[in-house]
Amino acid sequence: MPESQIPLIHLVCGSTGAGKTTYAIALAEKLKGVRFSIDEWMASLFWMDSPRPIEPAWAMARVERCMDRIWDTAREVSSRGVPCVLDLGLGQRVHREKFALLAKDSGLSLQLHYLDVPEAERWRRVQARNDAKAGTYQLPFDVTREMFDFVEGIFEPPDATEMADCNGIAISPQ
């Protein structure tokens, strides 16, 4: 791919436990880019003040604010020719479309990276991460089976049209 066509905005998506953060770290390193992780921003800015138990409306309002601020920063960084890797979950098509449109409107090239990992393997990884509380573990709580199943129920894998529209690549990490 000619340098002028190298994507500057990289959207990483996959369901819980797919390895999005691990992949995003490696991708940012490979591209000499900047990685933005919603889990890290939420852990740094909000989780310590969160109500217990977590209230979904409280959390989602803060996630939306973080995603808006992340986009503003990523747009500025990528406009200077530095690739940005957005590790924001992006489990629903509407969220991926939002960022694809923002990139297009900003004149920034985009690539979607879809991590396609079987459910049983993803649940095994989540359990291991919960037990270790290390590596990419960012939340102040374990991901329960109920949380995992909830996300499974709302996750929308990108279809062939979305992959084509977003210069998408499918990855099946081991």
Q: Over the stretch 139-172, which tens digit does the pLDDT of each residue have?
A: 666 888 888 898 899 999 999 999 999 999 999 8
Q: Please, are residues 100 and 110 in contact by the beta-carbon 8 Å criterion?
A: yes
Helix, strand, coil percentages, rounded to 5, for the chain: 55, 15, 35
Q: What is the pLDDT of residue 2?
A: 42
CB 79 within 8 A of CB 106: yes
CB proximity list for 43: less than 8 A, separation 6 or greater: 138, 139, 140
Supply the pTM of this predicted model: 0.88
Q: Domains (ranges, CATH) in the chain?
A: 3-171 (3.40.50.300)
- Tokens 């999005």 belong to 20
